[in-house]
Structure 1
């Protein structure tokens, strides 16, 4: 049996390495994602559990874990419940996915990168690590992973040929190497333990990850779109200086339904417009060009007019794009854009929707805080700061405003303004904070005190954090661990 399993693993690795005929591209299952999603399924992650496209593996694993005597499970459930507060189902899944991609794996689940390089949404789940270590051992996840591999192999088979066909076609069209630009890597992971019909994309350093959950048919449109970004993004960025000279066109898209990021960055807007034009050429759907223009991707028409000429010559896009960028006529494009009747809202692609419980009405301040946290997690501190300040001017509860002060304090700490950070954390604490905000505010104040060489004050803050009823498990774990470290330092 062990010999057969070893042979299966060898075949699986060979299949993965063969994807797109290049070492930089892979299609495979990922054991870290399996371990983390198994843990949160046991802890209460029920999103989409009754949808028909679920993998049978998810239900089987949940039933198996429920029948086991996993001693750490109550603590894991408490952590999951606390960490899920104030998050949508999609945000919750995305956070655990980022964590799974940021750790080294069993049995230690340490961080792959330095603290400054860890995605903030993953770092926020640092308290999960000791619980996951125990859960991995007590639930015997390594054995479950090996038993699940044949199920993953069948799902991988659905994607293998379509992805090879897709990547080969795009590489040929763009005339780029399958290994990517400057050694970058494109990887598709299959996740069978999460709500179906989802596609998530992550860019970490030089690597691009696409994670797909179960669906009746492979989500090839979304995977292709991600692969186009993988190949096109670095090429467009190469001509960023030239494109910035055309940024006056941004003035004409401010009333479109575009996300604000596109309204503020012409390179980003051009990049997405080019990709949409390429998709229209590949699919032979000229109507999609007009649709993209109405949505605000206003350079799509320009590129769709120039791509036929690109297709007839020999240069790759990496070199040919320079000519297309330099040929942009501001006067002509301004006239074209001014004539567009833009859509009133963003287009939502058709697909099965995950049914969630209807949340009670939230204040405007709470909604703004959520938007601000999104920009904070993307390290767009300027935009996050503006939104937290806006939240303070809006109608909301004391807790909502406390969360805004807390957000401003975190930004000040990141920007190395310790005095301002201390005042803002104090303001958050004096504004009737919820237990999550209260616990973490004390932890941050303790860290600032340690940095200021005030160990006694730091110790007091850690003590206050540990005394907060209902504080998040992450804050409690951080306070406990760091207070012990402080004690060791001061006793030397």
Structure 2
């Protein structure tokens, strides 16, 4: 072994050092198991049952859940009293999902609450009012119904105040549907002495966090070792697991708030403390991989043609219109295929092999295992491809090469992206017979029928500019329509129709009326690019800087704005054609430049 280590060190000194760092981290890694009363983070991607759906980031960053100390762990395992309060409210009002498989503490707390309600007329009155509200705000989709309350819990101050930590306009949209439950919840909590119940059962909560701590630590370390990435201390990004036994253990609820990746999960009763670690690991892979992909967001334009190959796939809207999320998810699927449980027992080398025939028999068993394991992994890759994740096979093959070369994902990411034969992969995607339904995925948003301005966004992507304009104009004619978003649609249509003067007017209308940070940021970026084309660098710089001050907090927005500050934007101009008006100077006769250069991810 010493010889092998020295040889390996000579051939791969960087990775050898990384291995030593990771092993040293094994004993030092802190995944604190805390019981916290505080809630929330930046803005939101709030999603249902094993789901994440992104929402705009507020212009003012709200207090974060259990604000970590500088130099502390970036990975934490915690509990939250506001989440406990809302979970209790749901349990009191008929939320019985997966009760038989829940941790015993869930049944104990339910019994204690029932006893308090039975002993007090006042408690019964407040319970009835609370449950009437819950019934009136019940959604048909059970997972979405739960998600709206979890989203709200993450934005609440500790009891007894239980008030939102941000303005209501900055709350995730799903949480605003139930924010008025808070006065009823505070009254009910007082009447049944809910804080005392929380304190009484804190030791059981802490015991459950201890049971989850070691499996979570192992998952994090194994993932980082496989990707050959170090486990770093807190640097502004954080992966947070919230444990709440009052929720159904069959549900994993995840969301991303700016730089915080948050998973709300519930431990099972048998085996005690078991959680869906695969779902947690999926979000952790997003935590590690997304920054690597987004760091190359500006180089993704050449990959845009790949989106044409997934228009008929059973994917959600964002994956059909944004290349970076599609690439990220496909890469994660590939990593998961490489590291999946293949359902086979790996041969164990017998002790004391002496006969050559015994060694040959063992080698044959190992070879047979490897072939079957690879076949099982390839089946998983094929399934992902047919579900719409059309780059899974490409990344699976690339990761296989990465393993053989002993390089890290960070070091190999550039080659994976820049070395891709886009035409080949697009053609491959178009040959896939997609399944009628997609996969259950931790980041799968709730299926929805596109209507209104969302439909207009899709029409822009598909090139139906007249259809998109028609929808936007109808929205402007409606006094209650979203006029800011309608102007945003019209502005981009005008760009693609080579009418920059009209586009500038519409973008200005957006800036005057929109409150959505992502829409505002990209309107500034568009204006910056237009001013660059008009050789007004001073105005362009002001717009790019304004895009950064909006604090959209999405990596692609920052990358586009910072690129604009570093160098002027350029686009092809029409040859041999005089514009009718210098303010409406055509930029490209085909419109391709506008479609490529002015197509950011649509706001979520």
TM-score range, shorter chain: 0.5 to 0.7
Q: What is the rounded CA distance, in whole Å, between the counterparts of 1:138 and 1:414 in structure 2?
A: 45
**Match of 1:48?**
97
**Match of 1:299?**
391
Q: Match for 2:401 among 309, 323, 339?
A: 309
Q: What is the rounded CA distance, in whole Å, between the counterparts of 2:486 and 2:35 in structure 1?
A: 48
Q: What is the rounded CA distance, in whole Å, between the counterparts of 2:289 and 2:387 in structure 1?
A: 21
**Match of 2:448?**
371
How far off is 1:146 after superposition?
1.5
Q: Match for 2:482 among 412, 415, 427?
A: 412
Alignment of 1:229 with 2:286, yes or no, is: yes
How far off is 1:334 after superposition?
2.7
**Match of 2:351?**
none
Q: What is the rounded CA distance, in whole Å, between the counterparts of 1:26 and 1:346 in structure 2?
A: 31
Q: Match for 1:338 among 430, 433, 439?
A: 430
Q: What is the rounded CA distance, in whole Å, between the counterparts of 1:190 and 1:348 in structure 2?
A: 22
Task: Report the TM-score, using the length of structure 2 for normalisation.
Answer: 0.54
Distance 1:39 1:321, change over 3 A: same
Q: How does 1:62-461 map to 2 (within 5 A)?
A: 62-68=110-116, 69=120, 70=123, 71-84=125-138, 86-179=139-232, 182-215=235-268, 216=270, 217-283=274-340, 285-313=377-405, 316-348=408-440, 371=448, 382-383=453-454, 412=482
Distance 1:32 1:274, change over 3 A: same
Q: What is the rounded CA distance, in whole Å, between the counterparts of 1:210 and 1:39 in structure 2?
A: 20
Matched-pair contact (CA < 8 Å) for 1:25–1:186: yes
How far off is 1:328 after superposition?
0.8
- Provide the secondary structure at the position in 1 that maps to 2:336: helix
Task: Report the TM-score, using the length of structure 1 for normalisation.
Answer: 0.65
How far off is 1:384 after superposition?
7.0
Runs (5+) with no aligned partner, structure 1: 1-10, 350-367, 388-404, 418-492
Distance 1:292 1:37, change over 3 A: same
Distance 1:414 1:89, change over 3 A: farther
Q: What is the rounded CA distance, in whole Å, between the counterparts of 2:287 and 2:102 in structure 1?
A: 29
| Greater helix fraction, Structure 1 or Structure 2 | 1
Q: What is the rounded CA distance, in whole Å, between the counterparts of 1:343 and 1:79 in structure 2?
A: 40
**Match of 1:483?**
none
Q: What is the rounded CA distance, in whole Å, between the counterparts of 1:180 and 1:270 in structure 2?
A: 27
Distance 1:114 1:312, change over 3 A: farther
Distance 1:41 1:131, change over 3 A: same
Distance 1:208 1:12, change over 3 A: closer
Distance 1:164 1:95, change over 3 A: same
Alignment of 1:24 with 2:74, yes or no, is: yes
Q: What is the rounded CA distance, in whole Å, between the counterparts of 1:28 and 1:305 in structure 2?
A: 37
**Match of 1:57?**
105
Deviations 1:403-423 (A, max 9, x none): xx9xx8775277599xxxxxx
Matched-pair contact (CA < 8 Å) for 1:256–1:296: yes
Q: What is the rounded CA distance, in whole Å, between the counterparts of 2:204 and 2:169 in structure 1?
A: 37
- Provide the secondary structure at the position in 2 that maps to 1:131: helix
Q: What is the rounded CA distance, in whole Å, between the counterparts of 1:244 and 1:325 in structure 2?
A: 11
Greater relative contact order, per chain length (Cα 8 Å cut-off, separation 6+): 2
Matched-pair contact (CA < 8 Å) for 1:96–1:122: yes
Runs (5+) with no aligned partner, structure 2: 1-31, 37-65, 341-372, 459-474, 488-604
How far off is 1:385 after superposition?
7.5
Matched-pair contact (CA < 8 Å) for 2:33–2:209: no
Q: What is the rounded CA distance, in whole Å, between the counterparts of 2:281 and 2:114 in structure 1?
A: 38
Q: What is the rounded CA distance, in whole Å, between the counterparts of 1:118 and 1:319 in structure 2?
A: 38
Matched-pair contact (CA < 8 Å) for 1:103–1:109: yes
How far off is 1:87 after superposition?
3.2
How far off is 1:280 after superposition?
1.3
Matched-pair contact (CA < 8 Å) for 1:22–1:179: no
Distance 1:194 1:413, change over 3 A: farther
Q: What is the rounded CA distance, in whole Å, between the counterparts of 1:91 and 1:177 in structure 2?
A: 36
- Provide the secondary structure at the position in 2 that maps to 1:287: helix
Choose 175-184 or 29-38, whichever is displaced more: 175-184
**Match of 2:88?**
38
Matched-pair contact (CA < 8 Å) for 1:181–1:234: no
Matched-pair contact (CA < 8 Å) for 1:17–1:23: no
Deviations 1:329-348 (A, max 9, x none): 12221333233332232245
Distance 1:293 1:156, change over 3 A: same
Matched-pair contact (CA < 8 Å) for 2:251–2:265: yes
Deviations 1:65-123 (A, max 9, x none): 22222142222122111121x43221111111111111112111122234443211112
Q: What is the rounded CA distance, in whole Å, between the counterparts of 1:230 and 1:338 in structure 2?
A: 30
Matched-pair contact (CA < 8 Å) for 2:74–2:235: no
Matched-pair contact (CA < 8 Å) for 2:256–2:262: yes
How many residue pairs get matched? 358
Matched-pair contact (CA < 8 Å) for 1:17–1:26: no
